[in-house]
Amino acid sequence: MTDEQAAMNPYEGFKLLRDHAPVTQLEEGGPWQVARHADVHAILRDHETFSSEVSIRPPEERGAPSMLFSDPPVHHRLRRLVSVAFKPSQIQKQEEQIRERCKDLLDAVPAQTEFDLVQALAAPLPVMVIAEMLGVEDGDMATFKAWSDEIFSNIGEILFGTPSAESERAAEEMNAYFLGRIDEIRNHPREHLLGQLVATETEDGKLDDEELLSFCRLLLIAGNETTTGLITASARIFHEHPQTLARLKSQPELSASFVEEALRYYSPFSATVRRTTKSVEIAGQTIAAGELVVPLIASANRDERVFDAADTFQIDRSPNQHLGLGFGIHVCLGAHLARLEGKIVAEQMAQRFRSVTLTQPKTATVGELGGPKELMVIVR
Ligand code: HEM
């Protein structure tokens, strides 16, 4: 999108792209952005033509591969080793704890006074959940959150350029912390996710220390800001469509489909990136081998060619073929967890509040990766 398009509601910009320029390059030699659902879907499905090995940093500088940025067979090996821990039956075990955490955070928010929902709930909840999975003690939570923010804020640079000194320092400190934990776990096995991963041994072998650290970093990058974005998106929806909150209050069983529609309507993982392995044609546009392609997930999810009344929030939309959690071999590994957290937050907010009002709706942007860094609200 051009700056001018981005300055307006990004969804208006996305519509212009879908209708008039479904495959465009922002500048000569730059990445190609792809706006329609059918094309985004085709890219995510075809990992042979659209590689996830997008980094231009030399292999010796990249460290252990992360599954998000690798292709088969490396991707399959890593994903198979960790996927057991993300099965619905495993995630379900966390439900009570997530409910408790969410309840405690909501108990602490002020009634009838403006506060920042990101600070109060949307940021700490996902960090607490991932920290618990990785066995981070409560006392280390603030440091863990600071590392997480630093590493995420620098993701573009980590992949495509030179990471900042701060993010390198954060990554080093976090690595040292987790190496210590991994050592402890080897002597005293633990049940949490990191404990399971240290112990996992299958026909694919074991995860070595570097791979374990890389996976810890990946969880921070892939699971934190995105879930924060889902929570802020839910609050924005309650503000823009107050009947949704009322409906959830009277029909809590709609919370699962509320989450699906929120993932579609304000997709927190708004875009991803691939590199072409061969020359390919998308919507009549030829793209040479080795080019970067950016599937605009948030745009695909508003494509009127696929969704009836695409710009309307329909709490019980069915079918809902959104791509908010990705598609194909890289489909979100944390999907069950993301859905569970989204559902718990929506249910608890609907139970407690009659209204959720954004006090500065214009300054809180949508359509970026993750979501706004601040979301001032009043709840009643
Ligand atoms: C609402 C919250 C979330 C959203 C919208 C989201 C979205 C996505 C999307 C779109 C992808 C695919 C990216 C691509 O194809 O390039 C992805 C992958 C991934 N997600 Fe999520 N995610 C969320 C929460 C989580 C959580 C909570 C975790 C873990 C704790 C997680 C872990 C991962 C991992 C490890 C991958 C890489 C999978 C692979 O490469 O095979 N995500 N996510």
Question: Which DSSP string do the residues of 105-123 spell out, in sequence order?
Answer: HHHTSPSSS-EEHIIIIIT
DSSP 8-state assignment for residue 31: P
Residue 230 Cα to ligand 1 midpoint, Å, equals: 12
Q: Which residues pair with 358 in a beta bridge?
A: 377
Domain assignment present for residue 377? The answer is: no
Domain assignment present for residue 355? The answer is: yes
Express each pLDDT in 137-165 by its tens digit. 878 888 888 888 887 776 665 566 667 88
Q: Which residues pair with 229 in a beta bridge?
A: none
Number of domains in the chain: 1
* Helix (H) or strand (E) segment spanning residue 377: strand 376-379
Q: What is the pTM of this model?
A: 0.93
Residue 324 Cα to ligand 1 midpoint, Å, equals: 9
Examine the pLDDT at 281 and tell me if it is beyond 70. yes
**CATH number of the domain that residue 282 is part of:** 1.10.630.10
The whole-number average pLDDT for the span 353-365 is 84
What is the pLDDT of the chain when averaged over all its residues? Answer: 90
| pLDDT band, very low/low/confident/very high, at 167 (cuts 50, 70, 90) | confident
Residue 26 pLDDT: 83
Closest ligand 1 atom number to CA of residue 229: 1
Centre a 10 Å sphere on the Cβ of residue 29 and count the other Cβ atoms it contains: 8
The whole-number average pLDDT for the span 34-42 is 98
Residue closest by Cα to atom 39 of ligand 1 = 330
Examine the pLDDT at 237 and tell me if it is beyond 80. yes
Pocket test for ligand 1, best of 332, 336, 339, 344 (most atoms within 8 A of CB): 332
DSSP 8-state assignment for residue 285: E
| pLDDT band, very low/low/confident/very high, at 363 (cuts 50, 70, 90) | low
Express each pLDDT in 297-307 by its tens digit. 999 999 999 99
Domain assignment present for residue 376? The answer is: no
Examine the pLDDT at 43 and tell me if it is beyond 80. yes
By mean pLDDT, which of 42-51, 140-149, 254-263, 348-357 is the weakest?
Answer: 140-149
Q: Is 339 exposed, middle or buried (0-12, 13-18, 19+ CB in 10 A)?
A: buried
Residue 14 Cα to ligand 1 midpoint, Å, equals: 22
Residues 294 and 23: their CA atoms lie apart, in Å, by: 10
| pLDDT band, very low/low/confident/very high, at 3 (cuts 50, 70, 90) | very low
Domain assignment present for residue 241? The answer is: yes
Domain assignment present for residue 213? The answer is: yes
Residue 348 Cα to ligand 1 midpoint, Å, equals: 24
Residue 5 pLDDT: 41
Higher pLDDT among residues 107 and 6, named by residue: 107
Higher pLDDT among residues 97 and 60, named by residue: 97
**Residues lining ligand 1, Cβ inside 6 A:** 44, 67-68, 79, 130, 218-219, 222-223, 226-227, 230, 263, 268-269, 272, 324-326, 330, 332-334, 337-338
β pairing state of 32-34 and 292-295: parallel
Residue 306 pLDDT: 98
Residues sharing a CB contact under 8 Å with residue 61, sequence separation 6 or more, in sequence order: none
Residue closest by Cα to atom 13 of ligand 1 = 326
Residues 309 and 321: their CA atoms lie apart, in Å, by: 14
Which residues span the domain enclosing 300? 3-371
Residue 189 Cα to ligand 1 midpoint, Å, equals: 27
Residue 87 Cα to ligand 1 midpoint, Å, equals: 14
Pocket test for ligand 1, best of 78, 217, 225, 226 (most atoms within 8 A of CB): 226
Examine the pLDDT at 343 and tell me if it is beyond 90. yes
Residues sharing a CB contact under 8 Å with residue 322, sequence separation 6 or more, in sequence order: 260, 263, 264, 267, 301
Residue 369 pLDDT: 66
DSSP labels for 158-189? HHHSPPPHHHHHHHHHHHHHHHHHHHHHHHS-
Domain assignment present for residue 219? The answer is: yes
Residue 60 pLDDT: 65
| Phi, psi dihedrals of residue 376, rounded to the nearest 5° | -80, 130
Residue closest by Cα to atom 35 of ligand 1 = 333
Domain assignment present for residue 378? The answer is: no
The whole-number average pLDDT for the span 303-312 is 98
Residue 155 pLDDT: 65
